[in-house]
C-alpha cells in the first residue's frame, strides 16, 4: 500500500449550523455543530473547546427539544491532526489517523489493517 501524509483540518462549511440547547430540564445548554441531521461536534456548557467526533453522529434528533442559533459560530476553530492517505487493496483512498480510518472495515469493526500503516 502506498501512503501519503496529509494535514487534515476540521472546519465548518456553509451548511453547518451551531445550535445552543435551550430546552432546560435534563438537557444542559451545550452548543452543537450540526450538518443537516449529522452531529459533527459540541461544546459542553461552561467550556470553550469544541469536541469533534471521529465520524459524525447520524440522525441527530431535535424533536421535543428547543435550540437557538449561535452567531458567530464558535465551532469554527481549526483542529489539525497528523493523518495520511492510504490506497487500499481495492484501489480506494482512505484517510488514516493515529486512532481512526475512513475505510468501511473501521466503520463496522472499529479496527482495520490500515491503522498499522500510521507509524
Provide the number of structural domains found in the chain. 1
Length of the chain: 119
Q: Say how many C-beta atoms besides its own lie within 10 A of residue 119's C-beta.
A: 7
Range of the domain at 52: 14-76
CA distances from residue 40 to 54, 97, 107 in whole angstroms, order as listed: 9, 17, 16
Q: Is 48 among the domain residues?
A: yes
Q: Where are the beta strands (DSSP E) in the chain?
A: 3-10, 16-21, 31-35, 38-43, 51-57, 67-69, 79-87, 93-96
Q: Is 2 among the domain residues?
A: no
pLDDT tens across the length of the chain (119 residues): 444 444 444 444 446 788 999 998 888 899 998 888 888 888 899 888 888 887 888 888 888 999 999 888 776 544 556 778 888 888 888 888 777 788 888 877 888 888 776 55
Q: Is 61 among the domain residues?
A: yes
Q: Is 59 among the domain residues?
A: yes
What pLDDT is attached to residue 8? Answer: 45
Amino acid at each position: 500500500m502506498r501512503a501519503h501524509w496529509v494535514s487534515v483540518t476540521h472546519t465548518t462549511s456553509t451548511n453547518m449550523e451551531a445550535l445552543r440547547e435551550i430546552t432546560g430540564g435534563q438537557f444542559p445548554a451545550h452548543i452543537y455543530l450540526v450538518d443537516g441531521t449529522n452531529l459533527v461536534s459540541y461544546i459542553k456548557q461552561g467550556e470553550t473547546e469544541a469536541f469533534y467526533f471521529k465520524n459524525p453522529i447520524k440522525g441527530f434528533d431535535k424533536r421535543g427539544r428547543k435550540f437557538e442559533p449561535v452567531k458567530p459560530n464558535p465551532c469554527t476553530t481549526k483542529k489539525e491532526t497528523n493523518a495520511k492517505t492510504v490506497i487500499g487493496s481495492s484501489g480506494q483512498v482512505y484517510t488514516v489517523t493515529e486512532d481512526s480510518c475512513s475505510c468501511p472495515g473501521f466503520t463496522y469493526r472499529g479496527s482495520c489493517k490500515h491503522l498499522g500503516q500510521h507509524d
